[in-house]
Amino acid sequence: MSHYQITSLEHYHEAYAESVSNPDKFWGDIAEENFKWMKKWDNVCDWNFSEPKVEWFKGAQLNITENCLDRHLEERGNKLALIWEPNDPKERFIRYTYRELYEKVCQMANVLKKHGIKKGDRVAIYMPMIPELTISVLACARIGAIHSVVFAGFSAHSLADRINDAEAKMVLTSDGLYRGAKEIPVKRVVDEALQTCPSVKTVLVAERTRWAVNMVEGRDFWLHDELDTVNKECPAEPMNSEDMLFILYTSGSTGKPKGVVHTCGGYMVYAGYSFKNVFQYEESDIYWCTADIGWITGHTYIVYGPLINGATTVMFEGVPTFPDAGRFWQVCDKYGVNQFYTAPTAIRALMAKGEDHVLSYSLDSLRVIGTVGEPINEEAWQWYYIHVGKEKCPVVDTWWQTETGGIMISGLGKHSPMKPAHAGYPLPGIQPVLLDQEGNEIEGNEEEGYLCVKHPWPSILRTTYGDHERCRVTYFSHYKGYYFTGDGARRDENGMYRIIGRVDDVINVSGHRFGTAEIENAINANDLVAESAVVGYPHDIKGQGIYAYVITKNPVQNEDILRAEIVETVVEEIGKIAKPDKIQFVSGLPKTRSGKIMRRILRKVAEGDTSSLGDTSTLLDPDVVDEIKNGAL
């Protein structure tokens, strides 16, 4: 029996059991039957988590774009591959059939080649959610260039860091972007970034807003001019299964964001498999994921997963609340969307605007609705289930990470039991465990622990770009023999997983990950700041907000002005998405005698819970706690 599409709960159990007892056979069969390979593998999976070294389908050759495009041409050449919905509903949408998308990707790939991009070169993509973004991603994959998409809301500084870390040769961008009521001069950000990026030789600029931009002679080219000079055929580069497909930067608890590396074969198989099963996609369905391709969700579930399955994928340039809070639902009705995938933060923002916006649309076509990126609270879950899903659509609460490449724990459409705020059961091939402090596996249900994973799955990260040791230390050293997720989780009485949240110094703001150290470094970049400490606190819409405790070098004259200046520094250093929500000025931080900040206390104060601060006797200066408590915002 094929396990590529799970068709019932019994089937899930059967597939799961097989995937654990014989992972090589399980994944080998799926890879063989459902994907196009140029050369077959010698081994399905070789691995150890101590180096770590993980290799899937070693010896095989493939090109993921052949699986996303070429192989559909015969059967689905005229089927819609991509529907692009603009920011402004008054503007016209754009649609590409599989044949058209294939030609666009080949053309773009030829432009990259013309500018000297070869297999293994890194290409940074800093673009708004326009079709050229999807096309660029696929064009890189077509010729074996490694894409590094940077969300076009990051600052010039962040962009430069990512370009330099990967030593990208080329940047793909646009003149400007529209996002809701905002207009952002994207090319200007790139120009600023490139002042410190010696590796970049070429910039290709897509036209979106038609604003006048600075074009540097010999470096910058208009994409549309370049596309006119090349043909529509470009052979797919044969890639080894373990060749890099892309780098995507994400924040951790220490230091600068790291480049998570995914490779060709395993990522392809898991992206295809997980998409098909979680969303239960059927041939004529219209699927829409509202994420930005700048994040892993967009990579796997706007671009690769859907296209591998020959799906019609909707790409949306805008935001949920522009021009009004009915925008998502209007788009669902407009295209007859069958599977809808969004983030809890969007649901909460829309919930706050009242039911009228959603009740004015029929949403009849919806069959599966999903969430991703952060824990969904029960109230938001119910609102989504009742008002969007009309109590007939399963809600798939999908838990996964940039590092996991694809969805790990989630319902599979209607085939799984569901429970509000619970991601549920692992997908076939995924072996989650809960560990205690000492690293022992916690058996049984109604238990809580550190969420780790036992055996590799095909799309597990392979390394962090340029620093394999960092990958080992971050993910594979806490508990020997396990991949450590950084999340805490609970198994309920039926073994369903509920993700509690990060157990490290990572905060999740509107589904975006930041390291507290990363934000502190940004705050400290302000000349007036001596030291800072950042924690997350519960936020009604964003899930977590950013609370910063700041010590200034000199006495504060005007708190509001200084706050605005610090926020501005963070915007310059990281981007608007990392703006602190609250800044409290303090004269000291609660530190232990060894100089370690006791974040537990800072978290409690930020949460507004000052009654139970626990033992503060080990602090260097216990008085500072009273001051912090009294000044809480």
Question: Looking only at residues 391 through 420 of this chain, which bind ligand PRX when binding is defined by CB under 6 A?
Answer: 397-402
Beta carbon of residue 402, minimum distance to ligand PRX (angstroms, whole number): 3
The neighbour count for residue 474, using CB atoms within 10 Å, is: 21
**Contact (CB, 8 A) for 203 and 173:** yes
Residues 197-256 that bind ligand PRX (CB under 6 A): 250
Asked whether the beta carbons of 529 and 552 are under 8 A apart, the reply is yes
Q: Compute the distance between CA of residue 373 and CA of residue 408 in angstroms, rounded to an integer.
A: 12
Shortest reach from residue 211's CB to ligand PRX, in Å: 31
Q: Which stretch binds ligand PRX (CB under 6 A): 261-269, 440-448, 480-488, 622-630?
A: 480-488
Which DSSP letter does residue 144 get? T
The half-sphere exposure of 450 on its side-chain side, counting CA atoms within 13 A, is: 19
Residue closer to ligand PRX by CB (options 161, 397) is 397
**The tokens of 515 are what?**
């390291």
Give the E-state strand segments of 151-201 in sequence order. Answer: 170-174, 177-179, 182-184
Buried b (16+ CB within 10 A) or exposed e, 79-106: bbbbbbbbbeeeeebebbbbbbbbbbbb
How buried is 43 (Cβ within 10 angstroms: 0-12 exposed, 13-18 middle, 19+ buried)?
middle
Is there binding between residue 296 and ligand PRX (CB under 6 A)?
yes
DSSP string, 305-318: HHHHTT-EEEEE-S
Q: What are phi and psi of 163, to 5 degrees?
A: -60, -45
Residue 292 near ligand PRX by CB under 6 A = no
The CA distance from 433 to 435, in Å, is 6
Our CB check for ligand PRX shows the closer of 323 and 501 to be 501
What contacts 71, CB < 8 A, 6 or more positions away?
Answer: 36
What residue type is 152 in one-letter code? A
Told to check if 508 binds ligand PRX by CB under 6 A, we report: yes
Judged by CB under 6 A, the stretch of 5-13, 102-110, 357-365, 369-377 that binds ligand PRX is 369-377
Q: What value, to the nearest 5°, has the Cα angle with vertex 597 and ends 592 and 598?
A: 80
User: Min. distance of Cβ 250 from ligand PRX in angstroms?
Assistant: 5
297 binds ligand PRX (CB under 6 A): yes
How buried is 409 (Cβ within 10 angstroms: 0-12 exposed, 13-18 middle, 19+ buried)?
Answer: buried
Query: ω before 323 within 30° of 0 (cis)?
Result: yes
Per CB under 6 A, 487 contacts ligand PRX: yes
Site map (CB under 6 A) of ligand PRX, residues 141-180, x = contact: ----------------------------------------
**Residue 423 Cβ, how far from ligand PRX at the closest point, in Å?**
5
Question: Is the CB of 297 or the CB of 313 nearer to ligand PRX?
Answer: 297
Tell me if 275 contacts ligand PRX by CB under 6 A: no
Q: Please, what is the minimum distance in Å from the beta carbon of residue 410 to ligand PRX?
A: 7
Task: Give yes or no for a contact between 125 and 169, defined as CB atoms under 8 angstroms apart.
Answer: no
Closest distance to ligand PRX from the beta carbon of 623 (Å):
35
Strand partners, 308: none
Kindly state the smallest distance separating residue 489's Cβ from ligand PRX, in Å. Answer: 9
Piece in contact with ligand PRX (CB under 6 A), picked from 26-34, 129-137, 501-509, 565-573: 501-509
Instruction: Give the residue with the Cβ less far from ligand PRX, 439 or 501.
Output: 501
Binding marks (x or -) toward ligand PRX, 96..135, rule CB under 6 A?
----------------------------------------
Q: Quote the least distance from Cβ 521 to ligand PRX, whole Å.
A: 19
Determine which residue in the list 513, 542, 563, 604 makes contact with ligand PRX, applying CB under 6 A.
Answer: 513
In angstroms, give the least distance from the CB of 411 to ligand PRX.
11
Pairing assessment for the beta strands 395-398 and 368-372 based on DSSP bridges: parallel
Contact between residue 374 and residue 345 where contact means Cβ atoms under 8 Å apart? yes
Applying CB under 6 A, the site for ligand PRX has a residue count of 22
Q: Tell me the closest approach of the beta carbon of residue 329 to ligand PRX, in angstroms.
A: 22
Given 372, 434, 471, 550, the residue binding ligand PRX (CB under 6 A):
372
Sole window of 219-227, 314-322, 373-381, 604-612 interacting with ligand PRX (rule: CB under 6 A) = 373-381
Q: Which is nearer to ligand PRX, 240 or 404 (CB)?
A: 404
Contact 262, 248 (CB under 8 A): yes
Task: Tell me the three-class secondary structure of 494-528, residue by residue.
Answer: CCCEEEEEECCCEEEECCEEEEHHHHHHHHHCCCC
The smaller minimum CB distance to ligand PRX, of residues 226 and 374, is found at 374
- Decide: is 544 part of the binding site for ligand PRX (CB under 6 A): no
- Footprint on residues 417-456 left by ligand PRX (CB under 6 A): 423
Query: Does 274 engage in binding with ligand PRX (CB under 6 A)?
Result: no
Nearer to ligand PRX, 165 or 397 (CB): 397
Binding site for ligand PRX (CB under 6 A): 250, 296-297, 372-375, 397-402, 423, 485-487, 499, 501-502, 508, 513
